[in-house]
Amino acid sequence: MKLAVIGAGAWGTGLSIALSGRHRVTLWARRPEVRQALRVDRENRRLLPGHRFPDALMIGEELEGAVVDADLLIVATPLSGLRPTVRRLRDDGLLRPLIWLCKGLEAETGKLPHQVVAEEIGQDTPYGALSGPSFAEEVASGLPAAVALAASDPGFGHRTALALHSSRLRIYANDDLVGVEVGGGVKNIMAIATGICDGLGLGLNARAALITRGLAEITRFGVALGAHSQTFMGLAGIGDLILTCTGDLSRNRRVGLALGAGRTLPQILDELGHVAEGVGTTREVARLSLAIGVDMPITQAVDAILSHGEPSALAVEKLLSRDPKVEAS
């Protein structure tokens, strides 16, 4: 297949490297100076240093040239860039079947990525979300990973998953687009919470309890939005949750660790150098969960820390002082 990856962050770069072995891949970055650096250095020195580009990986110059003959577009921008990217593709007559890698809920609107895309391009162009436990550094290194691909058209999803699937990057088709997106987005909130827990030195027992109760929150929220509960037992649910909450490469976990250590959010984000999608997602999920009547105490606690400056230790103490419930509730 001819693939165009739009966005040269760590994940877009890592996936481009991984897919170049079997497909003709063009990687495109929005900023001209980034495109030039990628072309000259043949690696993404700022976000994925040490991972040399395969000779076959091409760096596009203009967006039109990068996507014009592509069979599939892979939008690898942060969530904030998804709407303007698909709008530009639509306005410039460059729409092709597309999938995206970003996770979360759009700021201000609280919409899931597929809702954003549907608003901009309608239902005629097939689209889908790729999500699951996958750190960019490991994917770029050729280490094994497995992810889920959910699409608006199940036939498109199954065909695309089969075409992109390899022994090292295993891609499983999933028919629950809402569930895959909710799992991929809300697990970042739980990763921040787990990082806070570890940063406060609360121990491995507390971490396990938090991840487990976090999965219950994700499931309640997803089902309320129309997802299938079994999706959260798969790659885009518990798989991604475990990796992001425990893996040291997780940006959202690192945010939580720093908060637990007493750092301020502006300091943390300034030093991180990458987008931590969970920060913006927390605010939107906290707001939406209240509006639809879904109990999400961990999310609300993280939102109190991020949006309202509540000390991490106090937010955790409030969580620990909640009355117990039946576990399945």
Q: Tell me which of 2, 187, 318, 325 is the catalytic residue.
A: 187
Confidence class of residue 249 from pLDDT cuts 50, 70 and 90? very high
Classify residue 326: in a domain, yes or no.
Answer: no
Mean predicted confidence (pLDDT) in 266-295? 90
Q: Is the pLDDT of residue 30 over 90?
A: yes
Classify residue 228: in a domain, yes or no.
Answer: yes
Classify residue 329: in a domain, yes or no.
Answer: no
Q: Is the pLDDT of residue 276 over 80?
A: no
Distance between CA atoms of residues 196 and 58, nearest Å: 40
Regarding whether 113 and 95 lie in a shared domain, the answer is: yes
E-assigned strands of the chain? 2-6, 24-28, 58-59, 72-75, 98-100, 127-131, 145-151, 169-174
pLDDT at residue 278, rounded to an integer: 86
Confidence class of residue 322 from pLDDT cuts 50, 70 and 90? confident
Neighbours of 271 (CB within 10 A): 10
Mean predicted confidence (pLDDT) in 142-167? 96
Regarding whether 131 and 63 lie in a shared domain, the answer is: yes
Regarding whether 92 and 231 lie in a shared domain, the answer is: no
pLDDT at residue 326, rounded to an integer: 73
pLDDT at residue 329, rounded to an integer: 54
pLDDT at residue 328, rounded to an integer: 63
Which of 125, 148, 175 lies at the terminal end of a domain, its last residue? 175
Regarding whether 145 and 171 lie in a shared domain, the answer is: yes
Q: Is the pLDDT of residue 271 over 90?
A: no
Which of 175, 201, 224 lies at the terminal end of a domain, its last residue? 175
Q: What is the mean pLDDT of the chain?
A: 95
Confidence class of residue 321 from pLDDT cuts 50, 70 and 90? confident
Question: Apex CA 34: angle with CA 28 and CA 40, to 5°?
Answer: 95
Q: Is the pLDDT of residue 99 over 60?
A: yes
* pTM tops 0.85, yes or no: yes
Q: Is the pLDDT of residue 150 over 90?
A: yes
Regarding whether 36 and 168 lie in a shared domain, the answer is: yes
CATH assignment at residue 294: 1.10.1040.10
How much helix, strand and coil, in percent to the nearest 5, is found in the chain?
55, 10, 35
pLDDT at residue 327, rounded to an integer: 73
Regarding whether 143 and 30 lie in a shared domain, the answer is: yes
Query: 27-36, 105-114, 317-326: lowest mean pLDDT where?
Result: 317-326
Q: Is the pLDDT of residue 280 over 70?
A: yes
Regarding whether 152 and 25 lie in a shared domain, the answer is: yes
Regarding whether 32 and 70 lie in a shared domain, the answer is: yes
Distance between CA atoms of residues 165 and 146, nearest Å: 9
Regarding whether 208 and 75 lie in a shared domain, the answer is: no
pLDDT in tens, 39-74: 999 999 999 999 999 999 999 999 999 999 999 999
Which of 175, 198, 214 lies at the terminal end of a domain, its last residue? 175
pLDDT at residue 303, rounded to an integer: 96
Classify residue 325: in a domain, yes or no.
Answer: no
Which residues on neighbouring strands pair with residue 130, listed in sequence order?
A: 149
pLDDT at residue 323, rounded to an integer: 77
Regarding whether 17 and 96 lie in a shared domain, the answer is: yes
If one counts the domains in the chain, the total is: 2
Residues 6+ apart with CB under 8 A from 118: 152
Classify residue 180: in a domain, yes or no.
Answer: no
- Domain assignment of residue 277, given as a range: 185-320
**Through-space distance between the first and last CA atoms of the chain, rounded to whole angstroms:** 46
Classify residue 327: in a domain, yes or no.
Answer: no
CATH assignment at residue 166: 3.40.50.720
Measure Cα distances from 244 to 89, 96, 141, 189, 287 in Å.
31, 31, 18, 10, 23
pLDDT in tens, 290-320: 999 999 999 999 999 999 999 999 999 988 8
Q: Is the pLDDT of residue 325 over 80?
A: no
Regarding whether 238 and 171 lie in a shared domain, the answer is: no
Regarding whether 8 and 154 lie in a shared domain, the answer is: yes
Classify residue 282: in a domain, yes or no.
Answer: yes
pLDDT at residue 235, rounded to an integer: 98
- Residue 187 annotated as catalytic: yes
Q: Is the pLDDT of residue 24 over 60?
A: yes
Classify residue 248: in a domain, yes or no.
Answer: yes
Six token digits for residue 261: 């250590």
pLDDT at residue 274, rounded to an integer: 67
The answer to whether 162 touches 154, Cβ cutoff 8 Å, is: no
Mean predicted confidence (pLDDT) in 317-327? 81
